[in-house]
């Protein structure tokens, strides 16, 4: 796994800036004194480093989840199309329909199929 160092640096800079501001405020209010400041600062910087390197992985995970959701939607469309075409085929072959449904005879099914191919990136 390679990291986007610019993203890691950006997250790190944002976190450390916020932490420094908060720590300085607590120090100025007298809530953190002496060596406690250094100890808290060291612990927080360690956490910032961990979070900065975790951030790109979280972004990738979100992209994976979004693509999975899109895949589920794509699959639903395909199954609906497949089911409808199968139902029409069965009815036509069994003699229940004497003519092709209008959606098949007027190229709507072809247009729908081509639309699915375009959405799925299939040429």
Task: Read off the pTM.
Answer: 0.45
Structure tokens at 12: 């790190």
CA dist 71 and 63 (Å) reads: 12
Supply the range of the domain harboring residue 22. Answer: 5-120
**Overall domain count for the chain:** 1
Give per-residue pLDDT as tens, 18-53: 999 999 998 899 898 888 888 888 898 999 888 888
Structure tokens at 23: 């720590």
The residue ranking higher by pLDDT, 118 or 120, is: 118
């Amino acid at each position: 796994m390679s990291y986007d160092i610019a993203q890691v640096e950006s997250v790190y800079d944002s976190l450390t800036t916020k932490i420094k501001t908060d720590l300085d405020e607590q120090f100025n209010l007298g809530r953190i004194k002496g060596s406690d400041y250094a100890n808290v600062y060291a612990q927080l910087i360690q956490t910032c480093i961990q979070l900065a390197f975790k951030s790109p992985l979280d972004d990738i995970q979100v992209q994976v989840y979004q693509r999975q959701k899109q895949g589920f939607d794509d699959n639903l469309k395909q199954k609906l199309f497949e089911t409808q075409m199968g139902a029409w085929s069965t009815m036509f072959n069994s003699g229940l329909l004497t003519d092709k449904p209008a959606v098949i005879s007027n190229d709507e099914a072809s247009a729908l199929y081509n639309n699915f191919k375009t959405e799925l990136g299939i040429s």
